[in-house]
């Protein structure tokens, strides 16, 4: 009310370093000439930072992994409150925020974020990896609703050995452990590799030249208008397997992608099925809309020792087209 900034949520938290900052080497993304020039807008980071992440080569600084222990934290309508600060886990559903302090008392280690609650791909690449942190530093808890029985998330949790306590509704945390797990340091890379090994345990996936994971009209509007034509060309001329993840089980996706030499498709959550289990050295080639370019999948493929291809379509953020020759020539860069 008097114009001072609100307290920072983690100001009064006990904190400790789980993994140190370090310098890691990253190979360059492979790209045809002119791909960066097609990029007009980015999501999740500024345009310069996104381009830097997509094109970085050589040594790069990665920050530490940090743990936080907080006491007397209120969870109300998807928002955590502590010491005058707030931390959002999802959008509020209620119009007014005033409410009595929750009477239910709980404690645990929280491994979710706003983005992992918003996008399935973020949940699979980030929350499933952070779950190992929660299990190592407390009892894993999540505010996310139980997944649909037999659905993708349900099956991934079973294969990954995730059995968190689910906090339904408002609650008062007598003690809450949280994490800053954004840096792609070697500790996070090891956890991502451990998840891959758990998902592949007991399987012998067949090596294939590549898998094209269709996006179609699912999720946020992001339509590659000639997606089917490109997928059929890859199947006919390059021996690719074409899969619509909405029509496939998790086990079918893992078996198809677990030994694939390339994962291709529109940038988005459906590609995370493939990247999460594809082998080191596999080519990861998201087809990026020019007005919605993201580097999140580059960070994941770097952690898993895969090779990344920068391929930008032409059009807008929601409707775009990629020429066949650009896709085929980009794949040839990995030969």
The three-class DSSP label of residue 93 is coil
Provide CB contacts within 8 A for 322, sequence distance 6+.
224, 226, 230, 287, 311, 313, 314
Dihedral sign for Cα 30, 206, 233, 216, please.
negative
List of domains in the chain: 23-59+205-332 (3.40.50), 65-200 (no CATH)
Q: Please state, in angstroms and as integers, the Cα–Cα distance from residue 209 to each residue in 39, 141, 243, following that order.
A: 28, 39, 14
Residues near 232 by Cβ (< 8 Å), separated by ≥ 6?
242
| Predicted pLDDT at 320 | 97
CA dist., res. 29 & res. 147, Å (int): 35
CA nearest neighbour of 119 among 258, 13, 333, 270:
270
8-58: pLDDT as tens digits? 999 999 999 999 999 999 988 999 999 999 999 999 999 999 999 999 888
pTM of the model: 0.94
CA dihedral defined by 142, 191, 176, 75, rounded to 10 degrees?
-30
pLDDT tens readout for residues 248-299: 999 999 999 999 999 999 999 999 999 999 999 999 999 999 999 999 999 9
pLDDT tier for residue 238 given thresholds of 50, 70 and 90: very high
Tokens of 8: 């920072």
Tell me the average pLDDT of the chain.
95
Q: How much is the pLDDT for 96? A: 63
Q: Please, what is the angle between helix 152-160 and helix 128-137, to 10°? A: 40
SS3 98: coil
Point out which residues pair with 32 in neighbouring strands. Answer: none
Q: What is the pLDDT of residues 77-106, one digit of tens each?
A: 999 999 999 999 999 888 665 567 898 999
């Amino acid at each position: 009310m008097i114009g001072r900034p609100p307290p920072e949520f983690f100001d009064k938290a006990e904190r400790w370093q789980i993994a140190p900052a370090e310098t890691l080497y990253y190979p360059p993304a492979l790209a045809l000439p002119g791909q960066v020039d097609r990029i007009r807008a980015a999501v999740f980071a500024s345009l310069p930072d996104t381009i830097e992440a997509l094109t970085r080569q050589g040594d790069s600084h990665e920050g530490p992994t940090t743990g936080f222990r907080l006491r007397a934290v209120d969870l109300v309508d998807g928002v955590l409150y502590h010491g005058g600060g707030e931390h959002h886990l999802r959008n509020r559903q209620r119009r007014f925020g005033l409410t009595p302090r929750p009477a239910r008392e709980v404690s645990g280690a929280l491994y979710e974020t706003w983005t992992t609650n918003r996008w399935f791909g973020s949940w699979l690449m980030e929350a499933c990896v952070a779950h190992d942190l929660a299990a190592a530093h407390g009892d894993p808890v999540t505010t996310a609703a139980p997944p649909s029985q037999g659905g993708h998330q349900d099956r991934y949790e079973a294969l990954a050995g995730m059995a968190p306590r689910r906090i339904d509704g408002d609650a008062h945390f007598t003690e809450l452990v949280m994490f800053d797990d954004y840096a792609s340091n070697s500790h996070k890379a090891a956890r991502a590799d451990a998840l891959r090994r758990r998902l592949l345990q007991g399987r012998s996936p067949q090596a294939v030249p590549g898998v094209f994971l269709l996006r179609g009209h699912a999720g946020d509007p992001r339509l590659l208008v000639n997606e089917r034509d490109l997928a059929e060309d890859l199947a006919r001329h390059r021996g690719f397997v074409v899969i619509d993840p909405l029509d496939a089980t998790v086990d079918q996706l893992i078996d198809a992608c677990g030994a694939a030499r390339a994962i291709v498709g529109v940038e988005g959550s459906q590609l995370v099925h493939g990247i999460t289990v594809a082998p080191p050295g596999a080519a990861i080639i998201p087809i990026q809309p020019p007005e919605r370019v993201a580097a999140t999948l580059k960070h994941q493929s770097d952690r898993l020792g895969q090779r990344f291809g920068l391929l930008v379509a032409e059009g807008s953020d929601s409707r775009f087209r990629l020429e066949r020759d650009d896709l085929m020539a980009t794949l040839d860069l990995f030969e």
